[in-house]
Amino acid sequence: MLNTMTKNIFKITAILGFAAISLSSCSKENPPLVYFPDMYFPVAYDPLMKAQDAYSKHDNEIPAFVEHNGATGLSPVDGTVAQNKEGVVEEAANSKMTTDQYNAGYDASKLEITSPLDPANKAKDIERGKDLFNKTCAACHGVGGDGQGPIVVSGAYSGVPNYKDREITVGSVHYVLTHGRNSMGSYAGQLKPGDRWRVAMYVMDAFKATAAVATTATTPAAPEAAVPAANVTPSAKK
């Protein structure tokens, strides 16, 4: 009887021990043997870092990496669509700017009166800017730029200004699209760098061009300087 109980205890202990070992060997926290380590320990590469084998000390010998001095940020494959084909380089939206830093950047942006895009494509850029404005901005700003978009008209939101009442430039409109202003958030995540400039160009062309012409027309022309009598030639006196 005693021998039988002892055998049963050994069996139970062996079963429990085997179960414990099996469970621990299946744990992803500390696997005893890993055939595909990237499935357990994924390696995220910085696009600008040197490509290295995460599990070996030898230099990466993949031709594509060697050709680019080990950089992992390789050129796009032929036939792919470039995300920033205009090559517009600009500072990314910074949500941690202080009020003083934001205001300084906004004031500086007002001095920008031209976009960095190719002037030869101005008409096409403005046309695309119009399409993007109507899809992205008109819900609040209105298709007429008067701040009476459907969201405002419904009463769900208020305080959207009329562009004609604002002192803005193409640079300041682009700055606000990138960094946001007051209750308006940044649209850097919705519009690519070049497209933000296109929207800004459209805003200035559609909603501020008329105001600029009117201001110029109402400004009296400066009188021409009188020519001193001593400098007038005899032929000019006739």
Q: Is the dihedral of CA 177, 182, 184, 190 positive or negative?
A: positive
Q: Give the pLDDT of residue 152.
A: 93
Q: Give the start-end residues of each E strand in 46-198.
A: none
In a domain, 155, yes or no: yes
- Asked whether residue 93 is domain-assigned, the answer is no
What is the per-residue pLDDT for 58?
A: 63
Residue 200 within a domain: yes
Chain-centre distance for alpha carbon 208: 25
**Which residue has 């870092």 as its token pair?**
49
Q: Mean pLDDT of residues grouped by 10 in the chain (238 residues)?
A: 65 72 56 64 60 59 67 67 70 78 93 93 96 95 95 91 93 94 89 92 90 44 39 38
Burial of 144 (0-12, 13-18, 19+ CB in 10 A): middle
Instruction: Provide φ and ψ at 61, rounded to 5°.
Output: -110, 10
The CATH number linked to 212 is: 1.10.760.10
Domain containing 210 equals 99-218
The verdict on 196 and 107 lying in the same domain is yes
110 and 35 inside one domain: no
Q: Which of 25, 180, 19 is nearest to 94 (CA)?
A: 180
Report the pLDDT value the prediction gives residue 223, as an integer from 0 to 100.
Answer: 41
* 35 and 110 share one domain: no
pLDDT recorded at residue 209: 78
Does residue 103 sit in the same domain as residue 213? yes
| Domain tally, the chain | 2
104 plus 206 within the same structural domain: yes
Residue closest to 84 by CA, chosen among 116, 46, 112, 109: 116
Q: Are 133 and 202 in contact (CB under 8 A)?
A: yes
Residue 181 lies in a domain: yes
Q: What is the pLDDT of residue 206?
A: 94
Look at residue 13 in the predicted model and tell me its pLDDT.
78
pLDDT at 130: 97
Residue 225 lies in a domain: no
30 and 118 belong to one structural domain: no
Task: Give the model's pLDDT for residue 76.
Answer: 65
- pLDDT given for residue 96 in this prediction: 80
Residue 70 lies in a domain: no
Structure confidence at residue 61 (pLDDT) = 67
Looking at residue 47, what is its pLDDT? 59
207 and 121, same structural domain? yes
212 and 135 inside one domain: yes
Q: Are residues 113 and 194 in the same domain?
A: yes
Say if residue 104 is in the same domain as residue 24.
Answer: no
DSSP 8-state secondary structure symbol assigned to residue 59? B
Residue 176 domain-assigned?
A: yes
Note the pLDDT of residue 145. Answer: 95
Residues 205 and 133 in one domain: yes
Q: Provide the pLDDT for residue 160.
A: 93
